[in-house]
Amino acid sequence: MKIKEAQRIVDEWIKTHGVRYFNELTNMVLLTEEVGELARLIARTYGEQSFKESDKERNMADEMADILWVLICLANQTGVDLTEAFKKNLEKKTNRDKERHINNEKLGVRN
């Protein structure tokens, strides 16, 4: 699935099943909440915290998909074409960082 198609599918779903988009502020708060849920799961999976009973039902892929869903909602309601935005962002990073990481001694790679 392409990003543009995902944006269309989410928009269709919202109009069919969701009644309307939550406002932008609500969606921003929901995005923050979803990122927090993923952070909690990563802390317990890869960090030093142990799982609580309530954490054991959580799924990393599902948490990431929740983040993507809300991000797509925000993009749709603010008129952002995520495909174009991602292309421009990748180009910016490539131009800015084309040698930065390769020459980063902290990453263990040296020219």
Q: Can you give the pLDDT at residue 80?
A: 98
**Whether residue 75 is found in the same domain as residue 90:** no
Percent of the chain, pLDDT > 90?
77
**Whether residue 76 is found in the same domain as residue 87:** no
* Total domains present in the chain: 2
Residue numbers of the domain that contains 96: 83-111
For residues 5 and 97, give the distance between their C-alpha atoms in angstroms, rounded to a whole number.
30
Q: Please, which pLDDT band fits residue 63 given cuts at 50, 70 and 90?
A: very high
CATH number, domain of 75, equals 1.10.287.1080
Section 60-80 average pLDDT: 98
**Whether residue 93 is found in the same domain as residue 68:** no
Work out the burial of residue 70: count CB atoms within 10 Å of its CB; fewer than 13 is exposed, 13-18 middle, 19 or more buried.
Answer: buried
For residues 81 and 32, give the distance between their C-alpha atoms in angstroms, rounded to a whole number.
21
Section 86-108 average pLDDT: 88
**Whether residue 37 is found in the same domain as residue 14:** yes
